[in-house]
């Protein structure tokens, strides 16, 4: 088998790359370890920056997002029993769109298949070969047969636990890593959201986040231990922790309860690998970098990488111009480090750190006071959250 760009991973990064390349007349094959159903039902991110929304619309895959996505003009911060709104529209003139990552994935898969795209789900034993040469290859097993895909380039879009990054020889990459001493227990509940905007709560028991997926489904998170077994969290325990941490009852606001459809624990880390290229293999999205979800940046960063990579590959095939490919890593890393800083800062401001003392706790509250009382500080949060960074 032969294609121009071999793509490992059918998450948002790999699927969007395949679609954008198709629009430039560049062929690709996507190899995905999981089933179509699994990737379409994997609940993850929910907040899309305006730049992400614009790209999906421009690429012709935004119709359902425009119909079903919920446009938010602000968020609420709750701490010390008080409630403060950060008004994105007033502070930046922009907002964000709440639309599940799995819905983006469904839309992209449907479009690729309608366009005759080649996505091999349940590909096994995927490995990359000869990436330092002009003829890299991907070996895999599919439908019981061992196969080889010859490519001009390989895109490693296989997430944090994928095989592309680890296939690069030690010494070629530098990694920067921070693991946080807590995780998020995420739940999906069949309950109508009781207010329109997200709530980020700093509470003495730990962080909580109120979000949503649709007019019928609420998405909620609770800070927990990294080794927490979700089975230890009964529905009653979850709801009482959410009521307490989200300040239920304050301002007459009430959290609606409903059947819990799903629960899972997500560890929190910050991670960057540099450079995001080795020979003819390019890493994109979570394969190259991870942010803690507090700033809602992971999928937006993956999309931003793909915008740069697709344009670079187009420049190469159209004009034989390698400048875009050569600049790919540095261009992406500027945005990535800006968003790493923001995600780390949001995480540090909002979580309970058991390993820190009273002084740090008071500084954390002072930070929240500052962010909610100074227009300059609110504006800084808002412009990062909506994603105003220009390259
Ligand atoms: P993905 O989505 O992990 O996709 C990688 C794909 O590669 C496949 N794969 C392989 N395929 C073939 N062979 C192998 N050996 C393979 N190994 C892996 C996997 O099955 C998978 O299909 O990476 P991608 O495309 O880079 O997308 C990144 C995003 O998924 C991620 O950054 C976001 O979900 C992060 N994130 C959020 N991002 C936001 O922008 N806004 C948010 O509100 C937000 N909230 C979140 C989040 C992530 C969370 N979790 C669960 C980590 C909330 C949570 C709780
Ligand atoms: C979500 O809705 O899943 C979500 C929203 C905001 C975040 C993280 C996750 O910061």
Give the SS3 label for residue 99.
coil
Average pLDDT over residues 220-243: 96
Least confident span in 136-150, 239-253, 275-289, 335-349: 239-253
H or E stretch covering 363:
helix 358-373
CA distances from 257 to 125, 190, 211 (A): 43, 8, 13
Question: Which of the residues 200, 210, 221, 328 is marked catalytic?
Answer: 200
Question: Which of the residues 22, 289, 297, 351 is marked catalytic?
Answer: 297
Instruction: Please state the atom number of ligand 2 nearest to the C-alpha of residue 47.
Output: 5
pTM of the entire predicted model: 0.97
Q: Report long-range pairs for 82-85 (Cβ below 8 Å, ≥24 apart).
A: 83/247, 83/250, 83/251, 84/372, 85/197
Instruction: Please state the atom number of ligand 2 nearest to the C-alpha of residue 296.
Output: 10
What are the residue boundaries of the structural domains of the chain, listed by start?
5-48+99-176+269-346
Q: Is 385 a catalytic residue?
A: yes
Confidence of residue 248 (pLDDT cuts 50, 70, 90): confident
- Closest listed residue to residue 372, CA positions, set 202, 253, 251, 250: 202
Ligand 1 center to residue 210 CA distance, Å?
21
Ligand 1 center to residue 13 CA distance, Å?
8
Q: Are 305 and 7 in contact (CB under 8 A)?
A: no
Average pLDDT over residues 50-79: 97
Ligand 2 center to residue 190 CA distance, Å?
17
Q: What is the pLDDT of residues 306-319, one digit of tens each?
A: 999 999 999 999 99
Average pLDDT over residues 186-201: 96
Average pLDDT over residues 208-220: 95
Ligand 1 center to residue 300 CA distance, Å?
11
Q: Is 72 a catalytic residue?
A: yes
pLDDT greater than 80 at residue 272: yes
Question: Which of the residues 19, 22, 72, 73 is marked catalytic?
Answer: 72
Which of 12, 42, 47, 385 for a ligand 2 pocket mutation test, highest count of atoms within 8 Å of Cβ?
Answer: 47
pLDDT greater than 50 at residue 13: yes
Q: Is 372 in the pocket of ligand 2 (CB under 6 A)?
A: no
What is the per-residue pLDDT for 250? 67
Ligand 2 center to residue 45 CA distance, Å?
6
For residue 35, the ligand closest to its alpha carbon is: 1
Confidence of residue 389 (pLDDT cuts 50, 70, 90): low
- Asked if residue 255 has a cis previous peptide bond (ω within 30° of 0), the answer is no
Q: Is 46 in the pocket of ligand 2 (CB under 6 A)?
A: yes
Q: Is 47 in the pocket of ligand 1 (CB under 6 A)?
A: yes
Average pLDDT over residues 65-69: 97
Q: Is 294 in the pocket of ligand 2 (CB under 6 A)?
A: yes
Nearest CA to ligand 2 atom 4: 46
Q: Are 336 and 284 in contact (CB under 8 A)?
A: no
Nearest CA to ligand 1 atom 49: 44
Average pLDDT over residues 255-263: 95
Sheet bearing 82-87, strands edge to edge:
82-87, 74-79, 198-201, 208-214, 217-224, 174-189, 260-274, 289-290
Out of 3.50.50.60, 3.30.390.30, 3.40.50.720, 1.10.3720.10, select the CATH number for domain 5-48+99-176+269-346: 3.50.50.60
Q: Is 266 in the pocket of ligand 1 (CB under 6 A)?
A: yes
Measured in whole angstroms, the distance separating CA 247 from the mean position of its chain's CA atoms is: 27
pLDDT greater than 50 at residue 295: yes
**Average pLDDT of the chain to the nearest whole number:** 96
pLDDT greater than 70 at residue 390: no
What is the per-residue pLDDT for 251? 72
Nearest CA to ligand 2 atom 2: 46
CA distances from 328 to 131, 220, 229, 312, 313 (A): 17, 36, 40, 7, 10
Ligand 1 center to residue 133 CA distance, Å?
29
Ligand 2 center to residue 29 CA distance, Å?
31
Q: Is 106 a catalytic residue?
A: no
Q: Rounded CA gap, 277 and 378, in Å?
A: 36
Instruction: Please state the atom number of ligand 2 nearest to the C-alpha of residue 295.
Output: 10
Q: What is the pLDDT of residues 124-181, one digit of tens each?
A: 999 999 999 999 999 999 999 999 999 999 999 999 999 999 999 989 999 999 999 9
């Amino acid at each position: 088998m032969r294609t121009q760009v071999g793509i490992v991973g059918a998450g948002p990064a790999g699927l969007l790359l395949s679609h954008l390349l198709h629009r430039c007349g560049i062929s690709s094959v996507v190899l995905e370890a999981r089933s179509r159903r699994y990737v379409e039902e994997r609940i993850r991110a929910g907040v899309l920056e305006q730049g992400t929304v614009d790209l999906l619309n421009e690429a012709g895959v935004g119709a359902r997002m425009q119909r079903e996505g919920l446009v938010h003009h602000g968020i609420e911060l709750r701490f010390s029993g008080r409630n403060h709104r950060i008004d994105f529209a007033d502070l930046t003139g922009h907002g964000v769109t709440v639309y599940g990552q799995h819905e983006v994935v469904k839309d992209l898969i449907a479009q690729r298949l309608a366009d005759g795209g080649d996505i091999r789900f349940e590909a096994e034993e995927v490995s990359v070969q000869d990436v330092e040469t002009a003829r890299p290859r991907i070996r895999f097993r599919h439908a019981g047969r061992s196969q080889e895909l010859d490519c001009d380039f390989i895109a490693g879009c296989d997430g944090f636990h994928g095989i592309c990054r680890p296939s690069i020889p030690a010494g070629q990459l530098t990694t920067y890593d921070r693991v946080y001493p807590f995780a998020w227990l995420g739940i999906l509940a069949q309950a109508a959201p009781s207010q329109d905007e997200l709530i980020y709560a700093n509470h003495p028991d730990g962080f909580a986040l109120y979000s949503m997926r649709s007019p019928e489904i609420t998405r909620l998170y609770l800070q927990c231990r990294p080794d927490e077994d979700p089975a230890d969290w009964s529905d009653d325990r979850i709801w009482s922790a959410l009521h307490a941490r989200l300040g239920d009852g304050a301002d007459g606001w009430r959290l609606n309860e409903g059947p819990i459809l799903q629960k899972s624990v997500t560890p929190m880390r910050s991670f960057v690998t540099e450079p995001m290229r080795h020979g003819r293999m390019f890493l994109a999205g979570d394969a190259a970098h991870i942010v803690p979800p507090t700033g809602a940046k992971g999928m937006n960063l993956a999309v931003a990488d793909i915008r740069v990579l697709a344009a670079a590959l187009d420049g190469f095939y159209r004009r034989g111009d390698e400048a875009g490919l050569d600049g790919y890593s540095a261009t992406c890393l500027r945005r990535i480090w800006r968003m790493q800083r923001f995600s780390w800062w949001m995480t540090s401001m909002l979580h309970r750190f058991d390993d820190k003392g009273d002084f740090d706790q008071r500084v954390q509250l002072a930070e929240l006071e500052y962010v909610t009382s100074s227009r300059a500080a609110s504006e800084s949060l808002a412009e990062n959250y909506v994603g105003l960074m220009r390259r």
